[in-house]
Amino acid sequence: MDHILPGDPPVAVSLRRSARARRLSLRISGTDGRVTLTLPLRARLGDGLEFLREREPWLRGHLSRAPIAILPTYGTRIPLEGRPVLLCPGEGRIVLDGDRLHLPGGTEGLSGRLAAFLKATARDRIAAACDRHAAALGRPYRKLTLRDTRSRWGSCTSDGDLMFSWRLILAPAPVLDYVVAHEVGHLAEMNHSPAFWALVEGLCPGHDAPREWLRREGAGLHRLRLS
């Protein structure tokens, strides 16, 4: 459930009840700037909203310094494989022409069409990288899954299941390749030992640069709002 804090601008606040919470708390996500007010199960909603109003100056001060969300609409630029592309009206099918991405249909449903395109493109790029690195390693993977994760860019299970964030398609291609090499490397080394990092370097030479890019810029990939 959301509450709108009035003002200029209005602020959407997600209200969340938690059995583990012992007190009211207000949190701003470091990845996408979403605001969450957490209440203990038995706390009164009125007390929670009063708590929110008391902390409004603190909240707005932090939001003013937070990254600005990207809301997809025609005329907006979004990152795609590390470069900005302009969203433009199109006909028939979605077409990427240089730095312009032409999407058919009106503004209604644009976010969903863009999300489908980005996820399909991400799957193509990530699957190709998985196949290439797994073949080089000589270790097949079992299954590939894409999600919109906030705490990690990829994972590998002991059964050989690989998971990646579809938002990697927004990052430069070497960043996507590094993350895939990292997770595929876990098919052979389920740790972060020197042997593991040597393996990653063999799959993705010069991986330090894309790894540092992800540390520095990765949170910005969550600025694109598709829901």
Q: How far is CA 2 from CA 8, 14, 53, 131, 151, in A?
A: 18, 4, 15, 42, 23
Residue 8 shares a structural domain with residue 105: no
pLDDT of amino acid 107: 86
Q: What is the rounded distance in angstroms from the CA atom of residue 140 to the CA atom of residue 171?
A: 25
Residue 218 shares a structural domain with residue 109: yes
Q: What is the rounded distance in angstroms from the CA atom of residue 222 to the CA atom of residue 61?
A: 21
**86-142, pLDDT tens digit by residue?**
999 999 899 999 999 999 988 889 999 999 999 999 999 999 999 999 999 999 999
Q: How far is CA 103 from CA 72, 121, 125, 193, 197, in A?
A: 11, 14, 20, 45, 41
Q: How many domains does the chain have?
A: 2
CATH number, position 128: 3.30.2010.10
Residues 62, 66, 68, 71, CA torsion sign: negative
* More confident of the two residues 68 and 169: 169
pLDDT at 66 over 80: no
